[in-house]
Amino acid sequence: MHETGEADGADRVPLPRPAVPAPRSIGPMLVMVGFDGSVPSRRALVYAAGLAQRNRAALVVAYIAPAPPAVGLTPLGAELPCSVSQEETDEIAALATEILDGAVAGWRFTVGWGDAAHELERLADERRADVLVTGRPRSPARHVLGSVPGRLLRHARRPITVVP
């Protein structure tokens, strides 16, 4: 014993460590990215694909079509026509396929319509996404008026990555 009353290190017995299985990944398990074919969304898609690949996570590419202008005038319960054609949706999906081209195995494409921030958050909740990736808006006016990334960040329930 030392003068302070502490025992030497030789007297210490190491405590056994509990066996804990190593996690598959310390990163996200499901990455969702908003994609509309714009340059910022293309950058976000490439970033999200890399994030998913590095973490061996699933990738969901979400295209959110704008809501029809008459949504506020439609009676409750009425069928609403989607403002996007199947051809447009197919073009967006084909562009995503071209950009990803083997970068991520097993990614999925989903379509929603309406307010982009609200719909991305809803889809991310529905699929239990760990992270949501979006591109930064090109227009400075969008920063003032309220961009999709800004609205997502204000109401975030999961990490949001905004790609410049």
pLDDT of residue 134: 95
Which domain, by its residues, includes 89?
A: 27-69+81-163
2 within a domain of the structure (yes/no): no
Domain assignment present for residue 116? The answer is yes
pLDDT for residue 64: 95
User: For the stretch 84-106, what's the b/e string if a residue is b when 16 or more beta carbons lie within 10 angstroms of its beta carbon?
Assistant: beeeebeebbebbeebbeeebee
How far is CA 135 from each of CA 45, 85, 115, 122, rounded to the nearest angstrom?
Answer: 8, 23, 16, 18
> Does 9 map to a domain?
no
Inside any domain, residue 7 = no
User: For the chain, what's the residue count?
Assistant: 164
Q: How would you write the pLDDT of the chain (164 residues) with one tens digit per residue?
A: 555 555 555 567 776 665 655 555 567 799 999 999 999 999 999 999 999 999 999 999 999 998 765 555 555 544 555 556 889 999 999 999 999 998 887 899 999 989 999 999 999 999 999 999 999 987 665 554 578 888 888 888 899 999 99
Structural domain count of the chain? 1
Sheet-wide strand order for 131-135 = 108-113, 58-65, 30-34, 131-135, 160-163
As to burial, measured by CB atoms within 10 angstroms (0-12 exposed, 13-18 middle, 19+ buried), residue 161 is middle
What per-residue confidence (pLDDT) applies to 147? 85
Q: How far is the C-alpha of 48 from the C-alpha of 132, rounded, in Å?
A: 9
**The pLDDT of residue 60:** 97
| C-alpha–C-alpha distance, residues 117 and 34, integer Å | 9
Look up the CATH number of the domain holding residue 62. 3.40.50.620
CA distance 28 to 31: 7
Q: Does any domain span residue 21?
A: no
User: Residue 148 burial by CB count (10 A; 0-12/13-18/19+): exposed, middle or buried?
Assistant: buried
> Given this model, what pLDDT does residue 144 score?
46
Q: Is the Cβ–Cβ distance between 132 and 120 less than 8 Å?
A: yes
Q: Which amino acid is at 153?
A: L
Residue 94 is predicted with a pLDDT of: 96
75 domain residue, yes or no: no
Asked if residue 151 belongs to a domain, the reply is yes
